Amino acid sequence: MLGRPPNNPYAHAAGAYDQNAQSHTPDQRELEARILLKSARMMSDLQKCWDSLNKELLESTLRYNRQIWLMFYDTALENPGGERPGDLRSNIINLANFIFKREMEIMANPQKEKLDILVSINREIAAGLMSKPGDMQG
């Protein structure tokens, strides 16, 4: 007959780590907002030093932003029955497609003004993510 396993110090440590991580890690919405704000700040910084900009820095900054939006895009595509309504999922996919297209335009013909909309979108989405779902009225 199998009884209760002996007290496992590794399991106890893993449980303690999990509890600590949960109490000190921002929720998913806040984490996503912070990442979007970081990307917006990176693009804004690019605009400030545009005259001395090198192509590698532009590419890496846009790649960072693209990876964020790929995550949103993939999540929207892969979770059709998730907690997000269909119109929100569709809006995320359309917004991500717009961002991908704009990034390609920037790489083909770099102009710092083209980054304005990407910075604005990231800041607006981050602001929405940081607000509590019940705070939004409409």
The count of structural domains within the chain is 1
Residue 117 maps to a domain? yes
pTM: 0.75
Structural domain boundaries enclosing 53: 27-132
d(CA 48, CA 27): 32
The label of the residue with tokens 């993939």 reads: 74
Tokens of 99: 């961002």
Is 38 a member of any domain?
yes
In a domain, 99, yes or no: yes
- The CATH number of the domain holding residue 103 is 1.20.120
9 is a domain residue? no
Rounded to whole angstroms, how far apart are CA atoms 72 and 84?
A: 12
* pLDDT tens-place values along the chain, 138 residues long: 455 445 555 555 555 555 655 555 568 899 999 999 999 999 999 999 999 989 999 999 999 999 999 999 998 888 766 666 678 889 999 999 999 999 999 999 999 999 999 999 999 999 999 987 655 444
Domain-embedded: residue 15: no
